[in-house]
Amino acid sequence: MKVRLTIAEYVIHMGSSGPYVFSRNLTDSSRGVLAAESVRHSRVVHSSETPNSVSSEELLEKEETGGILRLSSMVTSAAMAYASSALTSSMGTKQVQLSSSFRSKLPISFRSSCRHVAPTRRLHLRVSSSLQSMVSDMGRKAPKGLFPPEPENYSGPKLKVAIIGCGLAGMSTAVELLEQGHEVDIYESRSFIGGKVGSYVDRGGNHIEMGLHVFFGCYNNLFRLLTKVGADDNLLVKEHTHTFVNKGGDIGELDFRFLIGAPFHGLKAFATTNQLGLYDKIRNALALSTSPVVRALVDPEGAMEDIRDLDKVSFSDWFIGHGGNRSSIQRMWDPIAYALGFIDCDNISARCMLTIFAFFATKTEASLLRMLNGSPDLRLSGPISQYIKDKGGRIHTRWGCREVLYDHTEDGTPFVSGFVMSKATEKKIVKADAYVAALDIPGIKKLLPQQWRKYDLFDNIYKLVGVPVVTVQLRYNGWVTEMQDVEKSRQLTKAVGLDNLLYSADADFSCFADLALTSPLDYYKPGEGSLMQLVLTPGDPYMPLPNNVIAEKVDEQVKALFPSARGLEMTWSSVVKIGQSLYREAPGMDPYRPDQKTPVPNFFLAGSYTKQDYIDSMEGATLSGRQASARICEAGASLTEFNKMLPAMDPKVAEAALDFEYSTVK
């Protein structure tokens, strides 16, 4: 059993060799000095001797005789006030409960990040962490392109903006524009919002997701958005390890937990990993020591320039050319590449991988993972959409855009005159001062007028293609990832197993997780077991297969990774196929990504595929929305003048635009 309780710089770690205590002695008059104590011979409390609920107050005050050090003398009230508002705990399947009396002694900001757990609840609950801590500090040594400064208050004329697409990019754009005083309408063709991070509830009450969503500690733009809309408490911090599950249940780890931060925590993780042999580690060290990651430690802007220049080569070519080896790629880097971009190291640009590596090397928390405490529709897109509505924005679902109406000024400048929209048997033309297409690759290709391909910015989009991905959810009558105790894995009163994102080099799914553990509020069901969510990448071989065949094949691979689960039955399954998900970030593709500002003055783009320094991801989508809003605000005054000069739409054009047969909308 391991116990780790973190309050700012306070760490209690109980392991097989005994408890270690690292504290910061603080007095009312001083900021304190770092102290470290270790007790090697204290009796370790086994899980069978630990009650289901342990009071944090008792934990801090309990005597050493119980195997837990007395900390009350060190943790003074002044220390508590100094501690930042973060408390995380990990006790296997145990609960940590904050008593009311103990909570009352904490500063208000600290109390807000600590959840009071009802002692009668048997579910394995976690304490969510405020996004005020344990996230990458982008205020220093960080490229500005990855986290722009806060926008200045807009002082130009108020604009009416129409956005097509209610995914993260569209919602991010809307939030920024609304905060600058603009009027915003978002149109979404589906019945639910969220785009690639969307989810919905089926007739059986199951939450169906479009993919597996993991939040790295360097998702600062997304964290900023979630904090803004009040959804920051919906993220659960996981152990600072990246876990690989190999065939037969063999576990490999990149363990970033270390007393010293970046870059030393990363060096420690790679030096001690059991996922690679000694020879592979040496070859890894050769490659990474000659990478732009080293420059990022002292010159992040210069390192990003170097990383951008490496877009034209694959990660495999770069890695092997700098001393790395094929075995390291197969056992470690391919699963990570699949998780990031849905393609392997032979096909992914070195720019993508090295962008992430630079973050991991320079920001301690960049590699720390979070996951939602429940489904995206309730915990992610739901709060953002509510914020948009509270700010006066409007979201119109089931309204699809059939056509972009456009014309030219007398000097030949193109402009959008309206969006042709339809919903069931309704149809209308939406007019605005600025128009935004916040779509994915196949969506934007369908929407753009073919005549606009004469502009390089639009024509280049057609060189980008999406990657097919299949997301599978499997429910079991036991706990798949509990490999230590078969009896525990068969009981259904308490969730047990690996509570983190998992990688594998030995299955067709590169990354996966047990959502009943990682995101319990909506995925844990009393009397049921694991809900495995697995991402098949590349998805090409699975796209033509029937869903039941896919579920059976994935079930077989799950049980090959977890032999202890072979006696469990799959009780329910869901398969979601996306023909084109993230754009294929192959070598040489980055120059084709379009800017948010286009040759059409009143038409803008948003989406994770558009030009931004991060990879195609939730963070990239959010960043693109910030950039799209900035482009619109920069053009605010000129857009108003431009729109005043535009001719009124010919009624015959409007009539013709609305004269169509009902079919699939864009």
Mean pLDDT for the stretch of residues 175-183 = 99
Q: Give the model's pLDDT for residue 163.
A: 99
Q: In 35-179, which residue ranges form alpha helices assigned H by DSSP?
A: 56-61, 77-82, 100-104, 108-111, 168-179
Q: What is the pTM of this model?
A: 0.80
Share of the chain above pLDDT 90, in %: 72
CA separation, residue 436 to residues 194, 312, 567, 597 (Å): 16, 30, 52, 10
More confident of the two residues 56 and 618? 618
- Report the 3 state secondary structure along 184-215: EEEEECCCCCEHHHCEEECCCCCEEECCCCCE
Neighbours of 408 (CB within 10 A): 9
pLDDT exceeds cutoff 60 at 640: yes
Residues 6+ apart with CB under 8 A from 453: 459, 462
Which secondary structure element, helix H or strand E, spans residue 12, and what is its range? strand 10-15
> What does the pLDDT read at residue 653?
72
Query: What is the pLDDT averaged over residues 54-72?
Result: 33
Q: Answer yes or no: is pLDDT of 234 > 70.
A: yes
At residue 648, the pLDDT reads 79
Cβ within 8 Å of residue 154, ≥6 positions away = 180, 181, 182, 633, 636
Are 28 and 78 spatial neighbours (Cβ–Cβ below 8 Å)?
A: yes
pLDDT digits (tens, 9 = 90+) for 281-309: 999 999 999 999 999 999 989 999 999 99
Taking residues 350-363, report their average pLDDT: 93
pLDDT for 198: 95
Using pLDDT thresholds of 50, 70 and 90, give the confidence band for residue 573: very high
Q: Which of the four pLDDT bands, split at 50, 70 and 90, describes residue 99?
A: very low
Mean pLDDT is lowest, of 119-133, 428-442, 604-618, 638-652, for 119-133
In this model, does residue 649 exceed pLDDT 80? no
The confidence score (pLDDT) of residue 140 equals 60
Reference 568, options 509, 501, 510, 514; nearest CA is 514
What would the DSSP string read from start to end of 575-624? EEEESS-SB---TT-GGGSPPSB-SSTTEEEESTTSS-SS-SSHHHHHHH
pLDDT at residue 621 tops 90 = yes
Mean pLDDT, the chain, rounded, equals 83
Cα 125 off chain centre by: 21
CB of 339 closer than 8 Å to CB of 511: yes
167 contact partners, CB below 8 Å, separation of at least 6:
193, 194, 195, 196, 197, 198, 438, 440, 607, 621
Tens digit of each residue's pLDDT (9 = 90 or more) over 324-348: 999 999 999 999 999 999 999 999 9
pLDDT in tens, 115-174: 333 333 333 334 445 566 677 666 666 677 788 889 999 999 999 999 999 999 999 999
Question: At residue 109, does pLDDT exceed 70?
Answer: no
Q: What pLDDT does residue 142 have?
A: 65
Report whether pLDDT(67) > 70: no
pLDDT at position 6 over 60? no
What is the tens place of the pLDDT at every residue in 478-492?
Answer: 999 999 999 999 999
Tell me how far CA of residue 210 lies from CA of 296, 401, 473, 533, 574, in angstroms: 34, 22, 10, 10, 11
Position 66 scores a pLDDT of: 33
pLDDT of residue 62: 32
Q: How many residues does the chain have?
A: 666
pLDDT of residue 89: 31
Question: What would the pLDDT profile of 575-595 be if each residue is shown by its tens digit?
Answer: 999 999 999 999 999 999 999
For residue 26, the model assigns a pLDDT of: 33
pLDDT digits (tens, 9 = 90+) for 111-131: 344 333 333 333 333 444 556
